[in-house]
């Protein structure tokens, strides 16, 4: 059978016409997209059809189908240089910076020349078509693992497509022309969530170390370095699209997509890596191997300002998700984090930052920190059975053992001034509790990451147990308030670590 090549599949995806509707420069979001007619000869077409169109399994995959269609719609905007993130209301610098960074990555990925003496990734029409095809097809298949489960769906998606059926693996790989293209596609899908974890503070820069090769013929190493930069760039674009769609289709929030603040987080990290690999190696016809890149990223991630930025992102992500607004005072959070870390660690702060960078991923940690933010916001009302709430009259709210929804705040808070004060108090408490939790994790496992960095491993902290079931997390939050030392011990009982990497 004559298999459709990647570019041909991309052209068919383009015919789906998936796009976000716009008016006046902003977005009017559609809650759902129409059903997609997927060709039967596409790889894993039956599973993909069930996942996207909920065939024979209504409700099983929740909003996964609409989310995937939304990712493709956002990718189409990025490809066409039409992507417009939500403008921040209070962070004007982010609006300006995103307005510069988005054209920068677009030009780098999709145009032949950046400036007279510098080149981008595109050399010819074939390069351009392949880039577009990779992004579209990657967007279509990036969440295949959700056919099995939401948790660990990134790795499970690759295993599902590549490691179960030889026929399924070939049906994917036959779309590519070269061995490297096949290998890079699997790596592309397997890493598609990493930039997202950098954006939320769950990961450090070193989490991307294995995208750079250990070895290869010396004459080809510059080309391999170039390919690494290319795929890092494509990953950042896919992650922006993924986050844009996820934030809108998240049933627990009222967010309308990615903001300029979050775009800047993605693209600042991309720019750091791109400048290092491209400017220092590719453009100078030198080559870099994985150990050098790993050491550089560890060094960068170990700086106190990077640790402060990582924890700030973690707290800010929770703040926006739980309050469902754009107005996240990241500059204030950053200062609070710096003061808190300095108070907790004193002269040992730099050593803490050195160790913390080696905990390069907090697996599903954001779920717990979301709940910690919610608990802290509701904390003034935990011991009240009823409270007058303006025109709403008396309303019974959750007690200490409940798991209340954040929208209860709408009836609890009657004064804008009271709400502002509550948020300020919440941020300080949230930063303190986040810092002591992370400090305990580092302290428990520091012996694994101390010493010679060539033999000390990188660790992934498995935090999903803190939210299984969700009442566990709520109870731990209560314990953090009442008996912090006991809570930290409880957290240690619930988490684990594994080696990070291949």
- Give mean pLDDT, residues 221-237: 84
User: What pLDDT, on a 0 to 100 scale, did the predictor assign at position 62?
Assistant: 66
pLDDT at residue 32 tops 70? no
Per-residue pLDDT band for 64 (boundaries 50, 70, 90) equals confident
**Of 234 and 5, more confident:** 234
User: What pLDDT, on a 0 to 100 scale, did the predictor assign at position 218?
Assistant: 58
Q: Across the chain, how many H-helices and E-strands are there?
A: 20, 9
Contact assessment for residue 474 and residue 375, using Cβ atoms and an 8 Å cutoff: yes
User: What pLDDT, on a 0 to 100 scale, did the predictor assign at position 1?
Assistant: 33
Number of residues that this document lists for the chain? 502
Based on its alpha-carbon atoms, the radius of gyration of the chain, rounded to whole angstroms, reads 23
User: What pLDDT, on a 0 to 100 scale, did the predictor assign at position 326?
Assistant: 56
User: Both tokens of residue 61?
Assistant: 């995959």
> So where are the chain's domains?
6-298, 304-499
Residue 74: strand, helix, or coil: helix
Per DSSP, what are the bridge partners of residue 459? 359, 499
**Of 25 and 162, more confident:** 162
Q: Which residues contact 247 (CB under 8 A, 6 or more apart)?
A: 253, 255, 256, 257, 258
Q: Which helix (H) or strand (E) holds 332?
A: helix 330-345
Highest mean pLDDT among 58-72, 118-132, 146-160: 146-160
The tens digit of pLDDT for each residue in 93-118 reads 889 999 999 999 999 999 865 454 55
Contact assessment for residue 196 and residue 207, using Cβ atoms and an 8 Å cutoff: no
Contact assessment for residue 378 and residue 409, using Cβ atoms and an 8 Å cutoff: yes
Residue 86: strand, helix, or coil: strand
Whole-angstrom Cα distance, residue 259 to residue 330?
Answer: 13
Contact assessment for residue 108 and residue 55, using Cβ atoms and an 8 Å cutoff: no
Residue 295: strand, helix, or coil: helix
- Give mean pLDDT, residues 152-176: 91
Burial pattern 473-483, b for ≥16 Cβ within 10 A else e, equals: bbbbbbbbeee
pLDDT at residue 380 tops 80? no
In DSSP notation, 180-232 reads HHHHHHHHHHHTTTHHHHHHHTSB-GGGGGGGS-S---HHHHHHHHHHHHHHH
- Give mean pLDDT, residues 384-412: 42
Per-chain mean pLDDT for the chain: 83
Q: Which of 275, 282, 311 is nearest to 296 (CA)?
A: 275
Look-up: residue for tokens 């009657």? 414
- Give mean pLDDT, residues 347-366: 94
Query: Which of the residue ranges 2-11, 66-75, 80-89 would you say has the lowest mean pLDDT?
Result: 2-11
Per-residue pLDDT band for 24 (boundaries 50, 70, 90) equals low
Q: Which residues contact 399 (CB under 8 A, 6 or more apart)?
A: 382, 383, 385
- Give mean pLDDT, residues 360-377: 92
Contact assessment for residue 264 and residue 101, using Cβ atoms and an 8 Å cutoff: yes
State phi, psi for 499 to the nearest 5 degrees: -70, 140
User: What pLDDT, on a 0 to 100 scale, did the predictor assign at position 134?
Assistant: 95
Residue 253: strand, helix, or coil: coil
The tens digit of pLDDT for each residue in 440-472 reads 999 999 999 887 666 678 999 999 999 888 889
- Give mean pLDDT, residues 30-37: 75
């Amino acid at each position: 059978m004559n298999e459709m090549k990647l570019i041909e599949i991309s052209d068919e995806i383009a015919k789906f016409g998936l796009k976000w509707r716009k008016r006046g420069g902003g977005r009017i979001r559609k809650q759902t997209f129409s059903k997609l007619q997927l060709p039967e000869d596409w790889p894993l077409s039956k599973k993909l059809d069930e996942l996207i169109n909920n065939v024979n399994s209504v409700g099983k995959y929740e909003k996964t189908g609409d989310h995937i269609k939304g990712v493709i719609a956002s990718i189409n905007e990025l490809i066409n240089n039409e992507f417009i993130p939500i403008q921040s209301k209070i962070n004007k610098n982010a609006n300006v910076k995103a307005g510069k960074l988005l054209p920068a990555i677009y030009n780098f990925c999709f145009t032949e020349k950046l400036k007279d003496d510098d080149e981008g990734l595109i050399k010819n029409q074939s390069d351009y078509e392949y880039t577009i095809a990779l992004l579209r097809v990657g967007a279509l298949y990036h969440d295949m693992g959700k056919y099995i489960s939401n948790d660990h769906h990134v790795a499970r998606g690759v295993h599902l497509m590549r490691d179960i059926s030889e026929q399924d693996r070939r049906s994917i790989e036959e779309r590519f022309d070269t061995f490297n293209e096949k290998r890079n596609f699997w790596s592309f899908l397997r890493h598609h969530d990493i930039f997202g974890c950098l954006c939320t503070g769950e990961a450090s820069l070193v989490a991307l170390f294995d995208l750079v090769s250990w070895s290869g013929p010396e004459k080809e190493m510059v080309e391999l370095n170039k390919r690494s930069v290319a795929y890092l760039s494509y990953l950042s674009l896919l992650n922006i699209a993924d986050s844009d769609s996820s934030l809108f289709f998240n049933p627990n929030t009222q967010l309308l997509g990615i903001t300029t603040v979050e775009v800047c987080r993605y693209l600042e990290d991309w720019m750091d890596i791109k400048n290092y690999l491209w400017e220092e190696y590719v453009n100078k016809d030198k080559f870099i191997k994985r150990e050098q890149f790993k050491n550089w990223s560890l060094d960068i991630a170990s700086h106190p300002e990077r640790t402060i930025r990582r924890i700030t992102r973690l707290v800010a992500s929770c703040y926006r998700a739980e309050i469902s607004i754009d107005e996240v005072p990241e500059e204030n959070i950053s200062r609070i984090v710096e003061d808190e870390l300095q108070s907790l660690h004193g002269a040992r702060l730099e050593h803490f930052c050195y160790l913390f960078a080696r905990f390069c991923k907090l697996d599903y940690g954001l779920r717990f920190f979301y709940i910690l933010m919610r608990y802290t916001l509701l904390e003034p009302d935990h011991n009240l059975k009823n409270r007058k709430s303006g025109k709403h009259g008396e309303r019974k709210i959750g007690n200490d053992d409940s798991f209340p929804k954040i929208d209860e705040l709408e009836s609890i808070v009657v004064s804008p001034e009271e709400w502002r004060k509550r948020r300020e108090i919440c941020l300080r408490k949230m930063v303190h509790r986040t810092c002591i939790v992370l400090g305990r994790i580092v302290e428990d496992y520091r012996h694994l990451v101390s010493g010679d960095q060539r033999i000390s491993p990188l660790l992934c902290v498995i935090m999903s147990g803190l939210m299984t079931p969700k009442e566990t997390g709520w109870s731990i939050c209560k314990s953090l308030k009442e008996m912090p030392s006991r809570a930290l011990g409880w957290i240690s009982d619930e988490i684990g670590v594994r080696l990070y990497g291949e």
